[in-house]
């Protein structure tokens, strides 16, 4: 009987994990939808780069703000019902985006649809509570692979735009989301034992913000996740403007960054379980710094006066070298997104919904602010690669901060490992 109960719990846990991941993939595809349909809308409304940045970033704002209250609600009443209500709430505004004609209408509807991004806080907490500590990192990594929903939009939306017009995309997404909701309810379960915060006030839950360690994780996540979201929204247009590709080709190249970064998150969770969140995050920052250094270099031509005339040297970053660097950056950030949440599951097991909401909020705000900053900087400088200069600076700051703030943790970990080695001998 005991064995059958264990098997039943394992089967339910795996079913919940699969359903959560599929639902999160769909929600993420909706969340970054403007990265594709925003390009023809920009041309239609003759928007500036800054206005385009605000358009694609608006859904990210509400998705970010709602992550904290939704995470709290998940701890109090359970993930299943919260996830269902969240997905139902986005269907009507999603449908009406296809009928919008004014810039303000896109912004308002984008705010409502943006709650799709809050699905992360529900799913990560709901998923974590079904697994023991040894497997939480891997399980949360699998769930986080739903970031690949951004790649789903890169594959599906351009074809729909070219064949039927951008107006069809949100309507197709609304119908697909309805199907996802029905399927989700059929394959998920609720465990009342997971409601860890029923008797805890909102004030008590927010006390997590008093922990200085949490602010560090918020900063790291605002880079690895916020940067991922920002580039997911921006890269299709970047390839069009910088290298002259058409919409479908540009979206396909952008997916080379988006898809691996989402899928690899599960492997990042496994590495974090095995080697520790600190080591994984440290290497993520270094790899990111190197990639962003080269990607920051603007397209440059050098003219040298010689005795036989002008000699022209093209110092531009080749599109394939650039894409390779972008691919590596995506892999690094995929690992980083998992390792940061491994920190959280290790240190905050009893209020993972709250802390994941807080850290997710920070990451989402990074994803909201960065595209707007991208647009402003490009309008000011006229240099497309200035977006990578900004990310390079943010990564350098993160690496320096991590070096100084984690020095004590690193020494403590080494001491523990040494003691463990001696005790086993």
Query: What is the structure's pLDDT at 209?
Result: 72
On whether residue 423 sits in a domain, the answer given is no
**Does 60 map to a domain?**
yes
Helix (H, G, I), strand (E, B) or coil at 245: coil
Q: What is the pLDDT of residue 219?
A: 86
Q: At what angle do helices 247-263 and 226-243 cross, to 10 degrees?
A: 150
Asked if 336 contacts 224 with a C-beta cutoff of 8 angstroms, the reply is yes
Burial class (CB in 10 A: 0-12, 13-18, 19+), 30: buried
Report the pLDDT value the prediction gives residue 87, as an integer from 0 to 100.
94
Q: Would you state the pLDDT for residue 27?
A: 94
Any domain includes 220: yes
In a domain, 421, yes or no: no
Query: Per the domain annotation, does 191 fall within a domain?
Result: yes
What CATH code is carried by the domain that includes residue 189? Answer: 1.20.1250.20
Q: Domain limits at 342?
A: 2-197+204-416
Q: Does some domain include residue 62?
A: yes
| Rounded CA separation 130/136 (Å) | 8
Task: Look at residue 201 in the predicted model and tell me its pLDDT.
Answer: 59
- Res 145: pLDDT: 79
| Positions in the chain short of pLDDT 70 | 1-7, 191-206, 208, 350-351, 353, 406-425
Q: Is 149 left (phi over 0), alpha (psi -120 to 50) or beta?
A: alpha
Residues 65, 137, 72, 402, Cα dihedral to 10°: -50
pLDDT for position 96:
95
- Does residue 228 belong to any structural domain of this protein? yes
| In a domain? residue 422 | no
385 backbone dihedrals φ, ψ, rounded to 5°: -75, 0
From residue 290, how far is each of 253, 279, 280, 287, 392 by CA, in Å?
A: 21, 17, 16, 5, 9
H or E segment at 311?
strand 309-314
pLDDT tens digits, 105-136? 999 999 999 999 889 888 888 888 888 777 77
Closest of 201, 192, 233, 224 to residue 34, by C-alpha: 233
Structural domains in the chain (count) = 1
Distance CA 344, CA 355 (A): 7
Structure tokens at 374: 């991208």
pLDDT at 413: 47
The Cα 50–Cα 334 span in angstroms is: 27
d(CA 2, CA 312): 77
Predicted local confidence at residue 114, as pLDDT: 93
């Amino acid at each position: 009987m005991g064995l059958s109960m264990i098997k039943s719990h394992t089967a339910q846990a795996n079913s919940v994990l699969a359903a959560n991941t599929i639902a999160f993939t769909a929600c993420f595809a909706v969340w970054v939808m403007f990265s594709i349909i925003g390009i023809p809308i920009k041309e239609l409304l003759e928007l500036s780069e800054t206005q385009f940045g605000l358009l694609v970033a608006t859904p990210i704002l509400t998705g970010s703000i709602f992550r904290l209250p939704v995470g709290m609600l998940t701890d109090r009443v359970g993930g299943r019902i919260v996830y269902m209500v969240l997905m139902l709430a986005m269907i009507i505004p999603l449908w009406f985006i296809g009928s919008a004609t004014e810039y303000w209408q896109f912004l308002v509807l984008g705010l409502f649809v943006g709650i799709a991004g809050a699905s992360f806080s529900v799913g990560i907490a709901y998923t974590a509570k079904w697994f023991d500590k040894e497997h939480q990192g891997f399980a949360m990594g699998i769930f986080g692979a739903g970031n690949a929903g951004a790649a789903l939009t890169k594959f599906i939306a351009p074809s729909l735009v070219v064949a039927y017009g951008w107006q069809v995309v949100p309507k197709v997404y609304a119908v697909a989301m309805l199907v996802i909701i029905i399927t989700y309810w059929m394959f998920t379960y609720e465990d009342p034992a997971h409601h860890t915060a029923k008797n805890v006030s909102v004030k008590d839950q927010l006390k997590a913000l008093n922990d200085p360690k949490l602010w560090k994780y918020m900063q790291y996540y605002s880079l690895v996740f916020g940067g991922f979201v920002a580039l997911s929204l921006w890269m299709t247009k970047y390839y069009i403007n910088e290298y002259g590709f058409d919409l479908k080709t540009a979206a396909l190249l952008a997916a080379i960054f988006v898809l691996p970064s989402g899928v690899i998150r599960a492997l990042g969770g496994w590495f974090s379980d095995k080697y520790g969140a600190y080591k994984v995050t440290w290497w993520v920052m270094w790899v990111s710094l190197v990639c962003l250094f080269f990607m920051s270099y603007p397209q440059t031509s050098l003219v040298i006066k010689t005795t036989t005339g002008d000699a022209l040297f093209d110092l531009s970053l080749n599109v394939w070298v650039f894409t390779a660097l972008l691919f590596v950056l995506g892999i690094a950030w995929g690992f980083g997104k998992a390792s940061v949440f491994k920190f959280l599951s290790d240190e905050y097991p009893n209020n993972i919904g709250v802390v994941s909401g807080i850290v997710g909020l920070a990451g989402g705000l990074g994803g909201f602010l960065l595209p707007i900053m991208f647009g402003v900087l490009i309008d000011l400088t006229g240099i497309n690669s200035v977006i990578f200069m900004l990310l390079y600076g943010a990564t350098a700051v993160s690496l320096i901060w991590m070096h100084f703030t984690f020095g004590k943790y690193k020494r403590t970990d080494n001491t523990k490992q040494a003691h463990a080695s001696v005790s086993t001998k």
